[in-house]
Amino acid sequence: MQLVVARIGRAHGIKGEVTVEVRTDEPELRLGPGAVLITEPAHTGPLTIETGRVHSGRLLLRFEGVRDRTAAEALRNTLLIAEVDPAELPDDPEEFYDHQLIDLDVVLADGTEIGRITEISHLPSQDLFIVERADGSEVMIPFVEEIVTEIDLEEQRAVITPPPGLIDESEAVIASTRDGDDESGDGDGKEDV
């Protein structure tokens, strides 16, 4: 199975290093020296990582055969793809690869079926499950411990305890900032002058 693990950014310096946008939770495993990566577009690779280092919070890589800024700049926006055994699991039992989560059934704690995970959206603040419901509509469920209480790979399901309004908009609780603004205490919601 192939997984996108990074995207090459700009050239850094004059000796062939490039910045990379990391797209894996295991950069030390997937982007270490000696790793051979498939590329998209295919004509730029495969690329073998020669060295890697962190500079000002960004990962810099140098590939075998890329010796100058011009060659490094030619790789810009190339996707780096690792070949991963589908049976391989992350070291942390609380972590999952996207391919393990796609197609899981999403159910409430009482067993009520919500839908099926069709996509994982990786946002800066959190990941989202894109869940297709039986009627074809979609719902987005934040992949956070408070909402997704269990991932059961054997049973192929994700158990959720959603807050009111996440699954059924009619259950949404509207919080108003106007409550408590009535300083007069007469309950009309207006400030008395």
Q: What is the DSSP string of 147-172?
A: TEEEEETTTTEEEE-PPTTSS-GGGP
Of residues 23 and 52, more confidence is placed in 52
- The secondary structure of residue 30, as a DSSP letter, is H
Tell me if the pTM is above 0.75: no
SS in 3 state form for 76-134? CCCEEEEECCCCCCCCCCCCCCHHHHCCCEEEECCCCEEEEEEEEEECCCCEEEEEECC
Residue with tokens 């996707």: 79
Q: What is the pLDDT of residues 143-174, one digit of tens each?
A: 998 999 999 988 999 999 998 888 876 665 66
The pLDDT of 65-85, averaged and rounded, is 91
Rounded to 5°, the CA angle 103-108-110 comes to 130
pLDDT tens-place string over residues 89-133? 666 777 787 778 889 999 999 999 999 999 888 777 788 899 999
For 75, which DSSP code? T
In the chain the first and final C-alpha atoms are separated, in Å, by: 70
Distance CA 90, CA 105 (A): 21
For tokens 């070291």, what's the residue? 91
Over the chain, what is the mean pLDDT?
84
